[in-house]
Structure 1
Amino acid sequence: MSVIRVVIADDSQVARDVLRDILSRDGDIEIVGEAKNGREAVTMAKRLAPQLITMDLNMPVMDGLSAIEEIMYTKGVPILVVSDRSDAQTAYQALEVGALEVMPKPALEGADAERLLERVRLLAGVTVITRLRRHTMAPAALTPFTTLPTSSAYIARDYQHVVAIACSTGGPQALLRLLRTLPVDFPAPIVIAQHISHGFIGGMAEWLASLCAMPVSVGQENELLRPGHIYLSPSESDLCVTPGHRLTLQSSPQNSLYHPNCDVLLQSIADVYGSDAIGLILTGMGRDGVNGMRAIKQAGGTTFAQDEASSVIYGMNQEAVKAGVVQYELPLDSLPERLLREVRAYRYSRSEPLA
């Protein structure tokens, strides 16, 4: 088995010691360099040819965000952001410029240490591309949308249609590309379960909200689902929907592998919305979401998956495809238009007032 070559970038000696001790414990990872600032990380990325870099964000000389941009501009290297939870929003800007995933700084022992090892082993094998330098992003080009006549019965029917999305590794970048091209008056609520470390979901919501036409927020207990709104599940609880079209938060089992759980969300969507549900499973590791997608399909809903070529990790979506619970597998950039077509077809078929 080949050894994974890793560079650690962090200005704290204590943090570097902890990361080195965790990553070196099993002998399959070699620390080939330790950078005390972003400028050193850029130099080591060129000179040492690591297979992965762990990157802190708040560093002197050159911060982590600038270092990631410089590295990805020169020669792409898989980068795992390992930073304080207080840097959550900046961490998602790091994903925007090329980092693969974010996680909090771990203690020497415990779940975060094991998750760090798992993520380094997984992401070191991911193919990344060299990128252009970051520039100010123009507002998303939104698909034209025709507002339909409304009636009280029609509006009530609107609340019975929903899009549910499951994703993990590579999910934040995929969600940005998907959601920022949807119009502000998208005629259905969108609920999302994205595997994420505790403490980072608020930063992810703020990041997406700053770049998408629709409002984005972390789902709250008893919150009413509204068309044209995006709701993220918190990591500390599992998000579900109720027959009254409201969100509810369930306690996650202590031994749960995934936070939040995608199957829990998708199953509740299938139970409540039946044939009016649209399920979408994006990039990610593991099998979470497969059973939930099966439930949506069996209830008569519509199921989509991101294809392999556009996925950072073709895992969750691959498992769903192999299980036969995905009706349509599409490139990521084709999904926004297809979702609009599905929801528009639904609206036009329901445009007459209900009896």
Structure 2
Amino acid sequence: MLSSSSIRVLLVDDSALARGLLRSLLEEAGIEVVGEAVNGRQAVELARKLRPDLITLDLQMPVMGGMETITEIMHEKAIPILVVSSEADAEKACEALEAGALEVIAKPDYTPEQAGEFVRKVRLLAGVSVITRIRRRLPETSPNPDNEWQWQPSHQYLARNYRQAFAIASSTGGPQALTRILPLLDKSFPAPILLAQHMSDGFVEGMVQWLSSLCQLRVKVAEDGELLKPGCVYVSPSESHLTVTANHRVALRPRVEGEIYRPSCDHLLCSLAEVYGRDAVGIILTGMGRDGAVGMQAIRDAGGIGLAQDEATSLIYGMNQEAVKLGGVHREFPVTALGEEMQKILEMTPAGYLQALGRSSA
């Protein structure tokens, strides 16, 4: 991570009031603002000229909007981008992550918590190495844009009593990774998937709507007390922590003041280990920090399966690296292979899958 005094930031927002607030928060933290842009076209020109360490970007702007601006910058010479936008643009903000932005955050006010989160994000993301992108297409799927869903058991499911549950833990770069995993799973996927994705308050619902448009699976915000069902992805609200109960229902734990990770990956993974034991499958993806490492170890200790996104395909090899170091990961895979591995786990017993992993690594 760069020191605050060496970070150079370009502010992009058509609101002088918003730019003034962000400038004051950054300068109070000792971070240099090297320029301001009032529209996307100006942002592209200043990014080319000033080469800042980070760009903060609003999505709603004249001349050139935020999405087009991200695409221009990321396809010309990539610079880390933090989207700072209204919660009303939550779904579009998540699309901005797919276009190349690193994270999204709500426009802060003068509350210490929001101001502190904004400055912390700038410090973390300014040192991230990003690469110039080439245009590509998402996997061909039959999306479920209206989130209309009724699970239809496959013949494979009817032939076997499935008991597994999957938990995915991710942070920075996670939404982008999820678009390489979830769209590859069929709507008859015979197990529930629980997701703890670090996300600023107000943006989870937008991410759910965005993922729903890409997936055959049902994707929804988890609700306290609901029964877990196969073929459904339960996404933790950022305002609470997603866990599961002994009778396979959702339990949302309140967030404690001062907690850095929201929602907690460790809370989810540890509860899955306790309830499902050897039938628990933990998958940890890209992200900063150590959240999830303890939970992945708990799953492995319970006899379950632990997989991780590998370094080469991770935007930030942090959380997954810590889980590997602690010993909670059986094998790392490229993000594009994780969906296939999830299917393989369901075709075998947990013990059979782990034996196959052992043979393939021998």
TM-score (norm: length of structure 2): 0.89
Q: Which amino acid aligns with 1:195?
A: H
| Preserved contact between residue 97 and residue 134 of structure 1 (Cα < 8 Å) | no
| Preserved contact between residue 281 and residue 304 of structure 2 (Cα < 8 Å) | yes
1 CA distance for matches of 2:188 and 2:325? Answer: 34
From 142, 155, 161, the equivalent of 1:147 is 155
1:300-311 equivalences under 5 Å are: 300-311=303-314
1 CA distance for matches of 2:105 and 2:88? Answer: 12
1 CA distance for matches of 2:207 and 2:188? Answer: 22
Q: Which amino acid aligns with 1:60?
A: P
2:191 paired residue number: 188
Gaps in structure 1 of 5+ consecutive residues:
350-355
From 47, 53, 56, the equivalent of 2:55 is 53
1:172-321 equivalences under 5 Å are: 172-321=175-324
Cα drift, residue 147 of structure 1? 3.4
2:338 paired residue number: 335
2:36 paired residue number: 34
Q: State the number of aligned residues.
A: 340
1 CA distance for matches of 2:131 and 2:155? Answer: 40
Q: Which amino acid aligns with 1:140?
A: T
Could you give the per-residue CA deviations for residues 20-66 of structure 1, whole angstroms, max 9, x where no partner exists? 11112232x22111011111111111111111110000111111111
Q: Which amino acid aligns with 2:84?
A: V
| Preserved contact between residue 9 and residue 53 of structure 2 (Cα < 8 Å) | yes
CA RMSD in angstroms comes to: 2.1
Q: Aligned in 2, Cα 1:265/1:140: closer, same or farther, shift over 3 Å?
A: same
| Residue 171 of structure 1 pairs with residue 174 of structure 2 | yes
Could you give the per-residue CA deviations for residues 291-346 of structure 1, whole angstroms, max 9, x where no partner exists? 11111111100001111121111111111111111111122122111111112213
| Preserved contact between residue 69 and residue 134 of structure 1 (Cα < 8 Å) | no
Could you give the per-residue CA deviations for residues 68-122 of structure 1, whole angstroms, max 9, x where no partner exists? 1111121111100000111100001101111010001112341222222222122
Q: Which amino acid aligns with 2:248?
A: H
| Preserved contact between residue 70 and residue 133 of structure 1 (Cα < 8 Å) | no
1 CA distance for matches of 2:327 and 2:255? Answer: 27
1:77-96 equivalences under 5 Å are: 77-96=79-98
1:110 paired residue number: 112
Q: Which amino acid aligns with 1:51?
A: D
2 CA distance for matches of 1:133 and 1:218? Answer: 30
2 CA distance for matches of 1:167 and 1:24? Answer: 30
Cα drift, residue 131 of structure 1? 2.1
Cα drift, residue 140 of structure 1? 3.3
Could you give the per-residue CA deviations for residues 4-26 of structure 1, whole angstroms, max 9, x where no partner exists? 22110001111101111111223
| Preserved contact between residue 7 and residue 123 of structure 2 (Cα < 8 Å) | yes
2 CA distance for matches of 1:189 and 1:238? Answer: 17
Gaps in structure 2 of 5+ consecutive residues:
144-152, 353-362
Could you give the per-residue CA deviations for residues 113-170 of structure 1, whole angstroms, max 9, x where no partner exists? 22222221221222222223577x562399xx9732627xx5xx43x31010111111
Q: Aligned in 2, Cα 1:287/1:138: closer, same or farther, shift over 3 Å?
A: closer
1:322 paired residue number: 325
2 CA distance for matches of 1:335 and 1:149? Answer: 20
Q: Which amino acid aligns with 2:223?
A: Q
1:344 paired residue number: 347
Q: Aligned in 2, Cα 1:53/1:134: closer, same or farther, shift over 3 Å?
A: farther
2 CA distance for matches of 1:134 and 1:12? Answer: 33
Could you give the per-residue CA deviations for residues 221-246 of structure 1, whole angstroms, max 9, x where no partner exists? 12221111111000111111122221
Cα drift, residue 347 of structure 1? 9.4
The range that moved more, 95-104 or 241-250, is: 241-250
Helix, strand or coil at the partner of 1:174: helix
Could you give the per-residue CA deviations for residues 143-202 of structure 1, whole angstroms, max 9, x where no partner exists? xx9732627xx5xx43x3101011111111111111112222222111001111111000
1 CA distance for matches of 2:84 and 2:90? Answer: 10
Q: Aligned in 2, Cα 1:109/1:237: closer, same or farther, shift over 3 Å?
A: closer
1 CA distance for matches of 2:156 and 2:139? Answer: 28
Helix, strand or coil at the partner of 1:91: helix
1 CA distance for matches of 2:57 and 2:136? Answer: 18
2 CA distance for matches of 1:13 and 1:118? Answer: 22
Q: Which amino acid aligns with 1:74?
A: E
Q: Aligned in 2, Cα 1:289/1:149: closer, same or farther, shift over 3 Å?
A: closer
Q: Aligned in 2, Cα 1:149/1:254: closer, same or farther, shift over 3 Å?
A: closer
Q: Which amino acid aligns with 2:349?
A: Y
Q: Aligned in 2, Cα 1:247/1:348: closer, same or farther, shift over 3 Å?
A: same
Kindly report structure 1 stretches of 4+ aligned residues shifted beyond 4 Å: none
1 CA distance for matches of 2:266 and 2:217? Answer: 25
| Preserved contact between residue 141 and residue 181 of structure 1 (Cα < 8 Å) | no
TM-score (norm: length of structure 1): 0.90
Helix, strand or coil at the partner of 1:94: helix
| Residue 100 of structure 1 pairs with residue 102 of structure 2 | yes
| Preserved contact between residue 162 and residue 277 of structure 1 (Cα < 8 Å) | yes
